[in-house]
Chain A
Amino acid sequence: MIFRRVTNWPSIYWRTPFGGELERLKRQMNLLSEGIFGGAYGGPSAGVFPLMNVTEDKENYYIRAELPGIKSEDLDISVTGDTLSIAGERKIPEEKGDVKYHRREREAGKFSRILNLPSQINTARVEAKCIDGMLSIVLPKAETAKEKQIVVKSS
């Protein structure tokens, strides 16, 4: 199942020349089509949790995900080469005593996700932290994957 998720990884979500607003629209369209075609359309976020934002600078990749109420001990993050895998469980403890629910919108459950990064990473120096329910992982790029400035010599 994990393998399927890897190969299923959507190339359509990677950066395109369009602006942010158009990207957002495209994403919503994708979600909509998933709803219509029952996920058979091959949309990426069918069953995928958590949603992730990835950014980069010269040195690192930064991955961010929203994981409210998830304790760091319930999170399992590992990296190999150019893949990051994240698994965990969101627990919502049962309320004690005689409680009457008015609304129940928050969900609990297990999750796992594998993300392929565009290039190799230095797995030894990966750092992750979870603050205010926001997970952020810093993945330094491997030396071989870093951009190199090439000096053009003039004779």
Chain B
Amino acid sequence: MLEFFRWLVNSPWSHVMNSYEWVFPAIQSLHFMGFAMSIGTIAIVDFRLLGLGMRGQTPAALAAGLEPWTRVGIAVMLTTGPLMFSTDAVAYHANPSFQFKMVCLMLALLLHFTLHRRAVQPGAPPIAGKLAAATSLLLWTAVVAGGRMIAFI
């Protein structure tokens, strides 16, 4: 594993990321836009499931309309994230905030593509929707918080 991280740090894209001062902040900005797009649209559905606003549409209709953009956001996030990781993979993998973030991210993605998807369907019990929404908000909050803490711990 450590070998792989060392290889990542020396990979061509890692060199490009490290060679120019502006590349890292540019990729990081894209990462922020990706997570705003994905987490933002997921949060809209979660708030609807919890009964907090957006009552004009059913959770199913809202989720169907937003899902393509959630996926675009996830794709951007999962491309730019590993790029940043590869610039300093050895240090990141040992960072407790990073490890916490990765665990929460895996759980959040797993939830989104399994239980969360079922909970928004018409006919799903409201309590299932509320539980899925609360867990989803909690996990994504933890992902963002963990990400923010990487620079501090």
- A complexed with B: no
What is B's interface to A at a CB cutoff of 8 Å? none
